[in-house]
Structure 1
């Protein structure tokens, strides 16, 4: 598979250690800015537009979430014309400016426009950085180690960010917090200057669309690609339950604020503590021949187990703590490996491979959030919440087992999954 010319690889290869350090630090400080604003973004929007009430909160959060999830994918044809260094630095500076100006916005449309710009900067930076790792690092184990390091940085920021938000945010003086958020993103831009290779651009895609017809045909006809798409969509669907159904469940079932905080922050805390060890285990397994597909399947089995635990009728606190621990281990394997798996697919352009990743992730997560936010809430209100958890767990385990069985049974001569 030849995604880029050898000359590009030679330009990018001289300082992978410096690139790793630069990406890790800028991810940490950038994510610290993001997770310092996310906990108070709803109240900030409501305070900036008191006449609109809940409407501006819902619309504003949608604008940011949709933009952060898919805007760079939709603009990938134009982004690939910008080299990595100015593209990545420009993306975080755009987010810094948008968040920094948010307290000054005087109209609803301007609030939403700034949130779209902030989300676009986050989305563009994510796409650039993942494609850069796919282009520079030559093998799955090395890619997974870098993606795991970035996951540690993000979750360390996710654990610290709410404390910064609570300490600095005031409805009357939001500029204090938003100024710190903007500075975090500026620091991320400065950190990238030392480690991002100069003068190289993302590879071309097969057409003007984010995912071209040729790649869509490959999704249907190439078993290896099809399996990664299916296993990743299933995983993101279940992953989304934690941030929709589980968060609602915790808020309804537990009176202790400390326990609620521990459960919701649990995955971020456990990832910071345990990610390095889990990554080392996965690296050893991959050296012995374990494929990214198999790792994703194993993670999905753990996701399914965590859902099943919630449906077993255990003491609520015991069940929730056990489920969070199992879910956290699953996330440690799943999060980095999704990017690793798509980076290694037999798709000519790594940019297009990551566009496909983003489409699949957004699709699975959106469906999961819809199920967790609508179906679970309905069943919970009827006193049948455990039925939701048990059914979801069993279906996830069965679907994952079926995918693994079909992969092992495959005798069509295609590349191993």
Structure 2
């Protein structure tokens, strides 16, 4: 695969064979632990420019996503009997893992045209969905939309990791993107109400497709057309070497486990907790307010939470610790729901705990993985996608099946207590023996 001779990345990775293992050791970063500035890299945007462009991009992408999600299950159920469940699963799986299917192709591709292609693919999938003439066609379109989202999501995270050299800078940028995403999440449901007509979703999906197309166009304002993805270290999305290192290296292992636990618990917010709300909260306005609370909370709390995390990371606290603390917050919400107190106050307190914990979770997962030096950045973020999707998929599966079974038999509290106790047992050991490390500015930083 050819590469422009003048283009270099801030992070260089060794060439490899197709065996799935590194053929040479990764060269040391000569600017690591040095007061000397890194040389300018052709095509790299400034941090301010990148923040502005990616914030607008994620705002538009998320506006399209959170406009369609509140009514997607209704549209699918109306198109074909029994299509809602498989359709949602198909979209969720492809949105999480779709990029891994083309990981080898993504290696060293240019960010700008590839990210635009991802948004165009998502726009096409969602835009044509109202015209699907059967469940199979709908599944194909949902797979296309999810895969486009997966490519856009992966490349935007890798772009930040490659462009911003230090963990604190990455955390600030990822946190800013989370604010933009949650602003869209607060607006999307109202836009859905304004554009959706029962039995006719064409206007809604046209608006959704338009948001994705505008999101792709926004990248033209600041992402250089010469910037490329880093090269992978293997023909596979994640090499055996990287997998082995993620199990042996303490920080990597803690990051993987904390992410799996946290995403499993957070998935209850969109599965088991939805079912509980439908049974226990009669007021539609109250249910809507409770659903919107976490998104509004992130918009309000993300900046101060990031300030706290940046200060502590500057003092040597690894970023996976914040992922672990957020997971404990989610676990605390589970314990409240299983405590036996009246349902309404238990739900309010649980969602409040979710809201307080979330600013320390989503953006910090990306920061924690970006700081790992166990493989190429592409591989590391592929590993992040796997961990996130496995935790989320299993969480929604359990929340939508096991909880429902127990709840209908009057034993729902057992589900919540099991999850809460499991979190309290599994997460604290990840932080035991933690030793502060001096913060380092450079590619070699460990989160």
In the superposition, the TM-score normalised over structure 2's length comes to 0.86
Partner of 1:142: 169
Partner of 1:224: 251
Asked if residue 83 in structure 1 is aligned to residue 107 in structure 2, the reply is no
Structure 1, unaligned runs of 5 or more: 410-414
Partner of 2:68: 37
Check conservation: 2:280, 2:344, Cα contact below 8 A.
Answer: no
The structural deviation recorded for 1:416 is 7.6
Larger deviation: 67-76 or 310-319?
Answer: 310-319
Partner of 1:399: 426
The structural deviation recorded for 1:347 is 2.5
Deviations 1:127-177 (A, max 9, x none): 000000000011111111111111111111112111111111124432211
The structural deviation recorded for 1:210 is 0.6
Partner of 1:412: none
Residues 245 and 77 from structure 1, CA distance in 2 versus in 1: closer, same or farther, beyond 3 angstroms?
same
Q: How does 1:278-289 map to 2 (within 5 A)?
A: 278-289=305-316
Check conservation: 2:93, 2:389, Cα contact below 8 A.
Answer: no
Check conservation: 2:371, 2:446, Cα contact below 8 A.
Answer: no
Q: Given the alignment, which residue of 46, 53, 58 partners 1:22?
A: 53
Partner of 1:348: 375
Q: Distance in 2 between the 1:182 and 1:14 partners? A: 28
Asked if residue 245 in structure 1 is aligned to residue 276 in structure 2, the reply is no
Q: Distance in 1 between the 2:446 and 2:321 partners? A: 11
SS of 1:345's equivalent?
coil
Partner of 1:71: 98
Q: Distance in 2 between the 1:372 and 1:97 partners? A: 31
Partner of 1:310: 337
Asked if residue 208 in structure 1 is aligned to residue 229 in structure 2, the reply is no
Q: Distance in 2 between the 1:348 and 1:161 partners? A: 37
Q: Given the alignment, which residue of 355, 358, 366 partners 1:331?
A: 358
Partner of 2:126: 99
Check conservation: 2:373, 2:446, Cα contact below 8 A.
Answer: no
Partner of 2:17: none
Partner of 1:361: 388
Residues 127 and 196 from structure 1, CA distance in 2 versus in 1: closer, same or farther, beyond 3 angstroms?
same
Q: Distance in 2 between the 1:319 and 1:105 partners? A: 42
Q: Distance in 2 between the 1:319 and 1:172 partners? A: 36
Residues 221 and 309 from structure 1, CA distance in 2 versus in 1: closer, same or farther, beyond 3 angstroms?
same
Check conservation: 2:96, 2:150, Cα contact below 8 A.
Answer: yes
Asked if residue 199 in structure 1 is aligned to residue 230 in structure 2, the reply is no
Partner of 2:185: 158
Partner of 2:440: none
Check conservation: 2:179, 2:298, Cα contact below 8 A.
Answer: yes
SS of 1:347's equivalent?
coil
The structural deviation recorded for 1:103 is 2.1
The structural deviation recorded for 1:78 is 0.6
Check conservation: 1:302, 1:330, Cα contact below 8 A.
Answer: yes
Check conservation: 2:335, 2:420, Cα contact below 8 A.
Answer: yes
The structural deviation recorded for 1:110 is 2.1
Partner of 1:174: 201
Q: Kindly report the root-mean-square deviation, in angstroms, between the aligned alpha carbons of the 2 structures.
A: 2.2
Q: Given the alignment, which residue of 109, 120, 142 partners 2:147?
A: 120
Structure 2, unaligned runs of 5 or more: 1-9, 14-28, 30-37, 437-444
Check conservation: 2:331, 2:423, Cα contact below 8 A.
Answer: yes
The structural deviation recorded for 1:29 is 1.1
Deviations 1:227-273 (A, max 9, x none): 11111111111111111111111111111111211222221121112
Tell me the number of residue pairs that the alignment of Structure 1 and Structure 2 aligns.
408
Q: Distance in 1 between the 2:265 and 2:205 partners? A: 33
Check conservation: 1:267, 1:327, Cα contact below 8 A.
Answer: yes
Q: Quick check: which one's helix share is greater?
A: 1
